[in-house]
């Protein structure tokens, strides 16, 4: 098994400093929708200047380089113990090179470890075994604390919102979450929504769904319709970029469903800030491809 520490370091550098094309495209479309001279438009223009500058100088798009969330699909026979070690070493090196901010803080003492390495769940690494002839795929998402703090979970029915256990109820609670977030999650955001599961699996799925491309529509036509409707209605709220008011509050919505217990109907919303940082590396033999 080859040592991929340097290749993973490059994955982290790209994730932190180079915003994916599908997100940048949405931001460029959003600028055109906002009124010339408005605070909303000016915020989006600054955001786009920042995106270019970060890419050009290889510096973090956002200083909150977030929770590093790795999803690893490894061919049968690879050692997850070694892959974990390589990911952790790469992350410490990325922090030393200022691609990442030291973000791992001890829950009890408040002490920052200084190198982004915390316990087994920091960085978060999910392993999934695939066939021996398939490539190794490592996906990385960086999710900042500001947007993580405005994530929300609802248990349906929700009497306050009049939300029942159906897609109409899902729609109501998601809109409520966007309203509660206001500009604090660095709007315009991207919504990751999970229906079903238990409290834990629902939160995880609401983040996993954010690995999907913004250009790809939901394979389920009912969910595709709801995704589009939620994006449009969230934008009617008028919260706007940074909460300054304006037409763009949300850039997109991604929904997924999980099997649930008969008694439980959770809806979880993970709010992703506009700095929607995610990158993928694919290792086929000697070749390493970054997406």
By CB under 8 A, is residue 6 in contact with other proteins? no
What is the spatial distance between Cα 22 and Cα 247, in angstroms, rounded to a whole number? 19
Per-residue tokens: 183: 């500009």
Phi, psi (deg, nearest 5) at residue 156: -90, 145
Those residues whose C-beta lies under 8 Å from the C-beta of residue 146, and which sit 6 or more positions away, are 64, 184, 185, 186, 273
Does 63 bind other proteins (CB under 8 A)? Our answer is yes
Measured from the CB atom, is 22 or 176 closer to other proteins?
176
**Distance between CA 146 and CA 186 in Å, rounded?**
7
CB of 233 to other proteins, least distance (A): 6
Task: Please report whether residue 31 would count as binding other proteins according to CB under 8 A.
Answer: no
Q: Nearest distance from residue 263's CB to other proteins, in Å?
A: 25
Q: Is 68 in the site for other proteins (CB under 8 A)?
A: no
The binder of other proteins chosen from 5, 7, 22, 42 (CB under 8 A): 42
Q: Which parts of 18-137 fold into alpha helices (H)?
A: 21-33, 39-57, 80-96
- Beta bridge pairs of residue 282: 137, 289
Span from 5-13, 78-86, 97-105, 125-133 in contact with other proteins (CB under 8 A): 97-105
Candidate residues 244, 247, 257, 290; the one interacting with other proteins per rule CB under 8 A: 244
Regarding 143 and contact with other proteins (CB under 8 A), the answer is no
| 53 binds other proteins, rule: CB under 8 A | yes
Q: CA-CA distance, 145 to 228, in Å (whole number)?
A: 26
Is 284 a binder of other proteins (CB under 8 A)?
A: no
Residue 54 found at the interface with other proteins (CB under 8 A):
yes
Member of 68, 118, 151, 183 binding other proteins (CB under 8 A): 183
Distance of closest approach, residue 148 Cβ to other proteins, in angstroms: 10
User: What is the number of helices (H) and of strands (E) in the chain?
Assistant: 8, 9
Q: Choose, by CB under 8 A, the member of 110, 131, 219, 285 that binds other proteins.
A: 110
Sheet containing 277-284: order of strands: 124-130, 67-75, 136-143, 277-284, 287-290
Helices 5-17/39-57 angle, 10° precision: 160
Binding site for other proteins (CB under 8 A): 39, 42-43, 46-47, 49-50, 53-54, 57, 59-65, 98, 100-103, 105, 110-112, 114, 144-146, 149, 161-162, 172, 175-176, 179, 182-184, 186, 233, 236-240, 242-245, 273-275
């Amino acid at each position: 098994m080859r040592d991929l520490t340097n290749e993973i370091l490059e994955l982290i550098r790209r994730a932190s400093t180079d915003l994916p094309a599908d997100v940048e495209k949405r931001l460029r479309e959003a600028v055109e929708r906002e009124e010339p001279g408005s605070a909303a438009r000016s915020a989006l223009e600054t955001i786009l200047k920042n995106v270019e500058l970060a890419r050009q100088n290889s510096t973090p798009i956002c200083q909150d380089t977030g929770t590093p969330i790795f999803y690893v699909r490894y061919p049968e026979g690879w050692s997850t113990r070694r892959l974990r070690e390589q990911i952790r070493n790469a992350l410490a090196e990325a922090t030393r090179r200022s691609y990442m901010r030291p973000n791992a803080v001890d829950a009890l003492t408040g002490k920052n470890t200084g190198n982004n390495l915390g316990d087994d769940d920091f960085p978060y690494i999910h392993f999934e075994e695939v066939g021996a002839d398939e490539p190794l795929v490592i996906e990385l998402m960086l999710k900042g604390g500001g947007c993580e703090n405005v994530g929300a979970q609802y248990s349906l029915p929700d009497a306050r919102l009049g939300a029942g256990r159906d897609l109409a109820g899902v729609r109501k609670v998601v809109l409520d979450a966007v309203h509660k977030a206001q500009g604090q999650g660095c709007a315009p955001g991207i919504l990751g929504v999970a229906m079903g599961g238990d409290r834990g699996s629902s939160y995880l799925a609401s983040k996993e769904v954010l690995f999907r491309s913004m250009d790809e529509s939901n394979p389920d036509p009912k969910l595709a319709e709801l995704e589009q409707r939620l994006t449009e209605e969230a934008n009617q709220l008028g919260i706007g970029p940074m909460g300054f008011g304006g037409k763009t509050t949300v850039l997109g919505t991604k929904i997924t469903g999980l099997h649930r217990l008969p008694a439980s109907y959770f809806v979880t919303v993970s709010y992703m800030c506009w700095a929607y940082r995610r990158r993928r590396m694919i290792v086929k033999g000697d070749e390493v491809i970054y997406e």
